[in-house]
């Protein structure tokens, strides 16, 4: 295996985003294959007994076992790190494996963290139910409010964690301001960047320390595999994340890594095209529904902040209709093109009712605190012609009497 021509990090870090997504991290075997090879193996063999001894002792580079290293997985890690502008990346079996690992690898009994309350449902389960069982204190705040972050800091606060844009409320967190506050207090900032991806937003450029991903979403982009990733400094990845990951085993399958590698080749194209279509669809819907929350429209209260930290506002947005859950389910049931699905970031446009799906495990109080109402619907805009999506939404709203 050798790196493809010119794959010196000093060169690849100068490549522009679309080039990194296609070329970053590619290694070729002696066969000279064009597309990245799929190494579907768990173990490795050695020419002599000394080789594994040297590798286990950390004295020689090389693979020992696929829980820790695999060539296909490593190509994906190098590519994601390059795209994110991070020194290092480790991928995990799913987005939630990444969120769990990134928190448990650095928090201990007696520590405290602050989480933005508008977050993916299972992430809130981890912060609200799992971490307290191990004596880790958690405070949930309105992520849009810098003073709330400041007020939540305790002497033992170690981590700030948030999504931006957040699911499904589209709250935006000021990455530069919150990161600066954290840094001044010796707190590490972790950003879940699944909704934007590095194609549209790079939190490390604005001072965040760690970026965590569900690569299941836009990175795969075609609804095929689950995957997760954590990016940060080489020191964070190697001294905190890697020991946790290698010993607890939330490892990504080489096959799934290969699928995501191929997905990344089109990420820049897809993310920008889907964001442009989302803007078109949102402009139409805004005139048809009482409330629409898309960070790419001037009606979003944090529009100026979006312009500052995002290249485009992404492919996902939420809107509210009159009539609560019954009406929201009625709209979904009347869709003819857009699928009813709680997934996001797919080439196919998908719609869901968060209160009865992605956020159903939360108490009504927590949901209300986040702003997830019974009449809220969330759409993930895909690669179809936006005019077909608009016609489908229009007929579905009419069919539901709206």
Ligand X SMILES: *Cc1c(COP(=O)(O)O)cnc(C)c1O
Residues that bind ligand X (CB under 6 A): 94-96, 99, 120, 123, 163, 167, 192, 194-195, 214, 216-217, 226, 228, 344
Q: Shortest distance, CB of residue 214 to ligand X, whole angstroms?
A: 3
> Closest CB to ligand X belongs to which residue?
95
* Structure-block tokens of residue 259: 């699928």
Torsion angle of the four alpha carbons 11, 12, 14, 20, in this order, in degrees rounded to the nearest 10: 160
- Specify the residue, 95 or 221, whose C-beta has the smaller distance to ligand X: 95
* 3-state helix vs strand vs coil in the chain, percent to 5: 40, 15, 45
- From CA 261, how far away is CA 258, in angstroms rounded? 5
Q: Shortest distance, CB of residue 159 to ligand X, whole angstroms?
A: 16
**Would you call the peptide bond into 168 cis, given omega within 30 degrees of 0 as the criterion?**
yes
- The DSSP element (H or E) to which 211 belongs, if any, is strand 210-214
Q: Shortest distance, CB of residue 133 to ligand X, whole angstroms?
A: 20
- From CA 192, how far away is CA 197, in angstroms rounded? 9
- Specify the residue, 99 or 240, whose C-beta has the smaller distance to ligand X: 99
- From CA 370, how far away is CA 237, in angstroms rounded? 31
- Specify the residue, 95 or 314, whose C-beta has the smaller distance to ligand X: 95
- Specify the residue, 99 or 199, whose C-beta has the smaller distance to ligand X: 99
For residue 290, give the 3-state DSSP assignment: coil
Q: Shortest distance, CB of residue 119 to ligand X, whole angstroms?
A: 7
Q: Shortest distance, CB of residue 88 to ligand X, whole angstroms?
A: 20
- Specify the residue, 63 or 122, whose C-beta has the smaller distance to ligand X: 122
Q: Shortest distance, CB of residue 33 to ligand X, whole angstroms?
A: 28
- Contact indicator for 174, 149 with CB cutoff of 8 Å: no
- Specify the residue, 79 or 217, whose C-beta has the smaller distance to ligand X: 217
Q: Shortest distance, CB of residue 123 to ligand X, whole angstroms?
A: 6
- Specify the residue, 91 or 396, whose C-beta has the smaller distance to ligand X: 91
Q: Shortest distance, CB of residue 95 to ligand X, whole angstroms?
A: 2
The edge-to-edge listing of strands for the beta sheet with 88-92 is 88-92, 228-232, 210-214, 188-192, 157-163, 112-116, 137-141
Q: Which are the contacts of 395, defined by CB distance < 8 A and separation ≥ 6?
A: 334, 336
Q: Which are the contacts of 175, defined by CB distance < 8 A and separation ≥ 6?
A: 164, 191, 203, 206, 207, 208, 309
What is the gyration radius of the CA atoms in the chain, in angstroms? 21
The C-alpha angle 174, 180, 184, rounded to 5 degrees, equals: 150
- Specify the residue, 63 or 138, whose C-beta has the smaller distance to ligand X: 138
Q: Shortest distance, CB of residue 99 to ligand X, whole angstroms?
A: 6
- Specify the residue, 189 or 214, whose C-beta has the smaller distance to ligand X: 214
């Amino acid at each position: 295996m050798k790196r493809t021509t010119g794959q010196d990090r000093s060169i690849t870090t100068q490549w522009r985003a679309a080039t990194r997504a296609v070329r970053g991290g590619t290694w070729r075997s002696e066969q000279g294959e064009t597309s990245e090879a799929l190494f579907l193996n768990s173990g490795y063999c050695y020419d002599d007994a000394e080789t594994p001894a040297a590798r286990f002792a950390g004295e020689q580079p090389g693979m020992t076992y696929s829980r820790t290293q695999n060539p296909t997985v490593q190509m994906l890690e190098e590519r994601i790190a390059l795209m994110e502008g991070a020194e290092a990346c480790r991928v995990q079996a799913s987005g939630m494996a990444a969120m769990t690992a990134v928190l448990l690898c650095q928090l201990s009994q007696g520590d405290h963290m602050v989480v933005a309350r508008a977050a993916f449902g299972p992430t809130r389960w981890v912060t609200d139910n799992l971490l307290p069982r191990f004596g880790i204190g958690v405070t949930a705040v309105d992520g849009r409010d810098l003073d709330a972050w400041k007020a939540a800091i305790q002497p033992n606060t170690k981590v700030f964690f948030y999504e931006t844009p957040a699911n499904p409320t589209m709250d935006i967190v000021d990455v530069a301001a919150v990161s600066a506050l954290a840094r001044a207090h010796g707190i590490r900032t972790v950003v879940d960047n699944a909704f934007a991806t590095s194609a549209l937003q790079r939190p490390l450029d604005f001072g965040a320390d760690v970026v965590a991903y569900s690569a299941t979403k836009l990175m795969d982009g075609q609804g095929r595999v689950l995957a997760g990733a954590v990016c940060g400094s080489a020191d964070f990845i190697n001294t905190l994340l890697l020991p946790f990951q290698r010993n607890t085993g939330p490892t990504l399958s080489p096959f799934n890594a290969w699928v995501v590698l191929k997905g990344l080749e089109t990420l820049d194209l897809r993310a920008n095209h889907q964001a442009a279509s989302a803007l078109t669809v949102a402009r139409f819907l805004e005139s048809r529904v009482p409330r629409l929350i898309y960070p790419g429209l001037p009606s979003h209260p944090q529009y100026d902040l979006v312009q500052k930290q995002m290249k485009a506002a992404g492919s996902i947005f939420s809107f509210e209709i009159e009539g609560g859950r019954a009406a929201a389910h009625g709209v979904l049931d009347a869709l003819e093109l857009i699928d009813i699905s709680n997934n996001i970031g797919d080439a196919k446009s998908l719609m869901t009712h968060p209160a009865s799906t992605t956020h159903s495990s939360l108490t009504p109080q927590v949901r209300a605190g986040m702003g997830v109402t019974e009449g809220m619907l969330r759409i993930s805009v895909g690669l179809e012609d936006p005019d077909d999506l608009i016609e489908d939404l229009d007929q579905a709203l009419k069919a539901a009497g709206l």
